[in-house]
Amino acid sequence: MTPAIVWFRQDLRLEDNPALAAAAERGGPIVPVYILDEAGEGRWPMGGASRWWLHHALTALEASLRERGSRLVVARGDSQRALAGIAASTGARAVYWNRRYEPSVVARDTAVKAGLAGLGLDARSFAGSLLFEPHSVANKQGGPFQVFTPFWRHCLELPVAAPAALGAGAFAAAPDSWPPSIPIPELDLLPTVRWDAGFGAVWHPGEKGAAKRLSRFVSRAIEGYGRDRDRPDMDGTSMLSPWLHYGEISPRQVWAAVRALSADSGVFPSSAGAEVFLREIGWREFAHHLLFHFPRTPESPLRSDFNRFAWAKDPGGALLGAWTRGRTGYPIVDAGMRQLWATGWMHNRVRMIVASFLVKHLRLPWNRGAEWFWDTLVDADLASNTLGWQWSAGCGADAAPYFRIFAPVKQGLKFDPEGAYVRRWVPELAGMPTEHIHAPWEAEPLVLAGAGVTLGKSYPKPVVDHARAREAALAAFKALRADSQG
């Protein structure tokens, strides 16, 4: 039997990998391949934090393959040219991969499939990264959903396949010769200036790390997920997003693990926390549904009237710089932005707070925030990033209305009531009394002095006044609405 190439992309796992399973079922040698094709990503090549994760994820995948007696062939450049070359050198007659749904990647993959088929290769793609493929879900009119609740209600009526285990003998046969491979470090994915120093203490990329994190979450935190998920001062979320993004665990595996908690055969386990958690998996599905059907949204608002929104001017980028560095003077905002820089991740409740602050307090374009998140998040996913930012800006599908403006002090008091999250990520405020931790500018001078805080020096004064910023944002929205109706 001739070899089959399995083209790994954002499916860096061996278990529940439909393309790999199909190659194993076909029989014959399997040639696992990864190609760094940055041009094929279109306008959204990987950001720095994603590149860090990919380096370690590929290293972990290579180790897993070697444990099975195989290896990972690594190449860079044009995907079609690389695959054709590897097929020619190994005698492979089949190339299998799992589908992605970003607009530029869909276009690239369509061309690759046609090109490989033209060479006489069996080029096939499979569904492996979502529970429900975007083109398979439609509303009653046959179009895409734009509101989450009916979308998810519809999805829950559809079957979810069980994860497929990979047989022990999948790599029993080896190709007669292995093609040349680039050592993973030569892909230059790691930063030259080591801003990633804190990542390794938080993250363990790879399929094994994903399985460990899922098991820990399901056994310890899922029961309280509905209660604790909005608390950044607690370990109440799964933190699975980067592993899901790079496919080191599949949504079917997550679904099955949570369903296994159920004592009956219902759709959801009896745990209310499990139901809320699976609904969050649904939001990931919804994000990809929207990106597939509205491919312009990473650059343009779904609600086109927001193209005329009166964003504020920021000469020299001072306001944007204060936001990115966590120097806005609002502790909960600054804590989130510093957590992001230090770990490549930010708690989801805080993501909403910092996003609202950028687009409504500073009134800067949502695209600026989306670009910063894209570069600094280890879980930077084009679909989820776009949905989240357009939701916060009020310009996307099922979005929060623009006039819903998060008050950062109230958000801090509600979701970080003891100030533990702020104290961890804004250590210059660690000595502040709890009653002043989220609004240090309201504290008396003696209180500030006792905490070792000098506003404007050791910690910045607020870059904007909340009440005035809120009024300006509402006025801008009112003007937009009047213009749209006129």
CA distances, 161 to each of 17, 136, 164, 237, 263 (Å): 12, 14, 9, 25, 19
- The one catalytic residue in 152, 366, 372, 391 is 366
> How open is the CA angle 240-7-203, to the nearest 5 degrees?
25
- The one catalytic residue in 255, 283, 341, 441 is 283
The whole-angstrom separation of Cα 8 and Cα 19 is 9
- The one catalytic residue in 243, 323, 389, 391 is 389
- The one catalytic residue in 195, 348, 371, 441 is 348
The β-bridge relationship of strands 4-8 and 94-98 is parallel
- The one catalytic residue in 133, 223, 280, 371 is 280
Note if 283 is an active site residue: yes
Note if 348 is an active site residue: yes
- The one catalytic residue in 178, 195, 255, 311 is 311
Note if 428 is an active site residue: no
CB atoms within 10 A of CB 125: 18
Note if 311 is an active site residue: yes
The percent of the chain in helix, strand and coil, each rounded to the nearest 5, is: 50, 5, 45
User: In this structure, what token pair is assigned to residue 222?
Assistant: 């899922």
DSSP alpha helix (H) spans, 221-362: 225-228, 241-245, 251-259, 272-293, 318-325, 331-343, 348-356
Q: Tokens 């970080």 appear where?
A: 416
The whole-angstrom separation of Cα 18 and Cα 478 is 50
The whole-angstrom separation of Cα 154 and Cα 138 is 9
Note if 323 is an active site residue: no
φ/ψ (deg, to 5) at 386 = -65, -45
Note if 385 is an active site residue: no
The whole-angstrom separation of Cα 165 and Cα 278 is 22
List, in order, residues 6 or more apart from 196 with CB less than 8 Å away. 49, 52, 190, 344
Active-site residue list: 280, 283, 311, 348, 366, 389
